[in-house]
Chain A
Amino acid sequence: MGIEFLIVNILLVILIVIASLVAVLLRDLLAAAIALAAMSLLLSLEFFLLQAPDVAIAQAGVGACLTTAIVIIAIKGTKRMEEE
């Protein structure tokens, strides 16, 4: 395995963890949903790099697009800010 590939992978994985942390820590739920979408997209990219194009397409379609849409719909139906 090339060391460049490993480094790219590790960077992506670290970005995914950071995105999920951001999604958890933000008080604005809409921003959290966008962070979750970013995490899903990065995850899909990681799947693609790990030679799983099928899963990458599914993750991009379901995770990044539909999940975000559903979360945003739910936020629209409830309340945007997380209360103290």
Chain B
Amino acid sequence: MEKRTVAGALAFSIVVVFFLFSIFLLHPFGKPGQVQMDDYIITHTQNETGTNNGVTSVVFDYRGFDTLGEATILFSAVAGVLLLFRRVRH
């Protein structure tokens, strides 16, 4: 076997073991431990943002700046693709 494969297998197994260890320390599926931030959002979204959809209120109001970043990412991807294919013309 190649040296690279051995090193990779070893590293992968260590990473898997540690990931599994850490996964079992998280809260179990369906029972989140700390929820103060999300509870605040669910309770106040109708009053503060006037929106019925909690997710939209987070996306555009509470974390609206992230969404601006996300739009920027799409914009830069478009600019990048157009830059790469700029010589492609009829």
Contacts and interface: CB of A to CB of B under 8 A. Distances in A.
Interface residues of B, number: 5
Contacts of B29: 6, 9
A48 to B, nearest CB: 13
B55 A54 contact: yes
A54 B30 CA distance: 19
Interface string B24-51: 0000011000000000000000000000
Main secondary structure of the interface of B (DSSP, over half): mixed
B20 to A, nearest CB: 14
A1 interface: yes
B30 A1 contact: yes
Interface in A1-37: 1, 6, 9
Interface in A25-83: 52, 54-55
B74 to A, nearest CB: 11
A49 to B, nearest CB: 12
Contacts of B30: 1
A9 B29 CA distance: 11
B13 interface: no
A9 B55 CA distance: 22
Contacts of A1: 30
A55 B54 CA distance: 13
Interface of A: 1, 6, 9, 52, 54-55
Interface of B: 29-30, 53, 55-56
